[in-house]
Each structure stands twice: as C-alpha cells, then as structure tokens.
Amino acid sequence: MQIQQAYSDLKKKLQASTKNESTFLNKIEPQIKPISAPLSGLAIQSEQRAPDGTISVKTSTITELVSTTEAQVNKLKTDIRRLGKEWAAADSAARAYSILEKGLEDANEQIIKISDMSLEVVKEIENVSRVPRYSSYKWVCHY
C-alpha cells in the first residue's frame, strides 16, 4: 500500500511539474525567440559523455544541441509513460497475487478444520467400537 501511495504522489508531482514547466515555457517563448535567433547558428564546443563513460568533445550549433536535448527529453517522456504502464501492470498482478494468496490461506485453514473434525470423528468411532455390544442391557435373573 505504501508503494502505491508513493507512486501516486510521484505521478501527481510529475504532472504538476510538467504542467508548470509547459506553462512557463509557452509564456516566455515569444520573448526568447528574438533574442535566440542570432545565436542559432553559433557553434560551441561541448563535452558529451557516452553510455560507456567516455567523454568526447564535439562542436555543434545551438540549434543542434537544442534538437538533441529535445529528442532526449521526448525519449525520457516515452520511457516514463512505458514505465508507468509497466508499473500499473505489475501493481495489478501484485494485487491479484495478494487476493489469491489470501484465498489459499483461507482454504488451508478450512482444510485444517476439516482434518481436525475428521480426526475427532475417527476417535469417536474407535471409542464406540471398543464398547461391548450388549453393555447397555441389564441381565436380570428371576428365581
């Protein structure tokens, strides 16, 4: 239950953060475009870390770097959506397992009760079979 609550809280925070960032970016975009236009062709040198940890120096334009960053952000968004779906599927499977496990525990308890009752019946049958058949009759002799 705590994991589900943590996931729910994280999801809400991400949605709020994304909404706030989108609103902010849409608001300042008209102001930034005229300023950034002369910089779009400017080439800069940047260090980039490869997945294996090696660092390479690359010369790129700001437009290329922005495009690369946007592509990375879009990939991360896609990954987050996919992981959210996987989380939901795993959560659903965990809930089903929990229900099944509870059902098995209940069935096991019933089996134990029935076994105990069966054992009592067997003991009663054994006790009845030890009593002589005619023990309830009184033998009376008349002279």
Q: What are phi and psi of 60, to 5 degrees?
A: -145, 160
9-18 burial, b at 16+ Cβ within 10 Å, e below that, comes to eeeeeeeeee
User: Which H or E element spans position 17?
Assistant: helix 2-36
Q: Give pTM, 2 decimals.
A: 0.43
Cα-based torsion angle of the residue sequence 126, 132, 135, 139 in order, rounded to the nearest 10 degrees: 180
Between the alpha carbon of residue 140 and those of residues 94, 119, 132, the distances in Å are: 74, 39, 18
CB distance 43 to 60 below 8 Å: yes
Give residue-wise pLDDT tens across range 99-138: 999 988 988 889 888 888 888 888 887 777 665 555 555 5
Question: pLDDT tens for residues 40-97?
Answer: 677 888 888 888 989 988 888 877 888 888 999 999 999 999 999 999 999 889 889 8
